[in-house]
Structure 1
Amino acid sequence: MSKTKERTHSVAANGVPPQQQGAGPVAPPRVSARRRRPGVIALSLALIAAGGAGVAVLLLQVGHRTQVVTVVRDVQVGQVLTEQDLGKASISLDPAVKAVQANELDSVVGKRAAVELKPGSLLTRSQVTKDSLVKAGEQLVPIGLKPEQVPATALVPGQKVELVHVPAQGATDTGKTSDTPPQTIAGRVVKASSAAPGTGVVVVDVATSANDGPTVASWVSSSTLRLVLDAQDGN
């Protein structure tokens, strides 16, 4: 047998290459055991549980929908509401929004709009009234106000006003003064239009007593009327 065959036979016999036969045993790698911290583990579990609970609450809130009454047609101030003016929608409603529930739709049909209603809006109790905006014994007088006569404070239905008669220029004697206060008539805003394009004139419907209606109309015709707002609380 040749020397090459002898060396091959020697490797096959003991299963170890010749260059490693003289080496000692190889020690296994040391695995360091991590020290477990029960406090950290408990905190991690608590955070996971809290996060899961928060997600669950959020999903419940998003998934909770309420049937409410909506406006589907333009409704003017004082107009009686009909079923055709209203609709229903299912939405996620904030508790702070006091919308009329869908099962209460019949309770608002037949009432009057206290404000102008626009399609797509939610209907609230404060937007309707069972009372007529023009009461018995009153008359409705339209008053046109030029841009410089329109108050900066928004005119809203129910706002109390004073209609003041201002004599036209040249109607009084020059150089004479009068201690008599100007004539005034109490009124209540029923509706105020938007400013007309180009002119900026705002038309305000004012309810007055039936006895004062003709007088106010004459002041409007002669352009001797001014509108003054009363304090909202009546003081």
Structure 2
Amino acid sequence: MPAPIRVHSWPTPNGHKVHILLEELGLPYEVVPVNIGAGEQFRPEFLAITPNHRIPAIEDPEGPEGRPLALFESGAILIYLCEKTGSSLLPAAGEARHLCLQWLMFQMGGVGPMFGQYNHFAAYAPEKIPYAITRYANEVQRLHRVLEKRLAQSAYLAGPDYTIADIATFPWVRNPDRRGIDLAHFPSVKRWHDAIAARAAVQRGVAVLADRQRQGPMSEEERENMFGATQFKAR
């Protein structure tokens, strides 16, 4: 039995990407909660793993050549775990691999940042700025149209098979009402979403740390730790 991978995480879309993949791969892992609302991402022991003070990050005691490896950035972690295990969730070569990486980068550079900006300005910003809310709402709609066009042509983002491109994107498309999206207007996205949501490993992955999910309005301490000046202090 391989040594468990330590996953420093919190129940966010980026955290769930890694939880889901670990469940799909059947790898043993240990979750180390990093409460980002309480500012635990700024603790020295976490900064020693990721100087970017963002979740998720992993520590693999059995990394390349058997040496320990610490890794941050969710997309890099997904690629690493697939290459470590030889999983077909990242195709090994050829067009399928390039398409998978293309749609993974689409999520990393588009879906995640833009959905996140909408969430911030619409739900968390202390001042409601109509220009910002409209700008990011329009971008969220546009990105859903891109996904709809692709998924009307293909069962999954990278082709006929489920891959880490889907695993990375699903947690951001999940809970569409939070972004004012009705998936009935995007039937191919809904078909894809529902197929992924039905997977047992996905259900286990999104349940990780679910009991730690914040309930109710965000406190001022949480707002400061996640969005305030604390983010920008030199460390």
TM-score range, shorter chain: under 0.3
Query: Larger Rg: 1 or 2?
Result: 1
Task: Judging by fraction of residues, say which structure has more helix.
Answer: 2
Task: Judging by fraction of residues, say which structure has more strand.
Answer: 1
- Structure with the greater relative contact order (CA < 8 A, sep ≥ 6): 1 or 2? 2
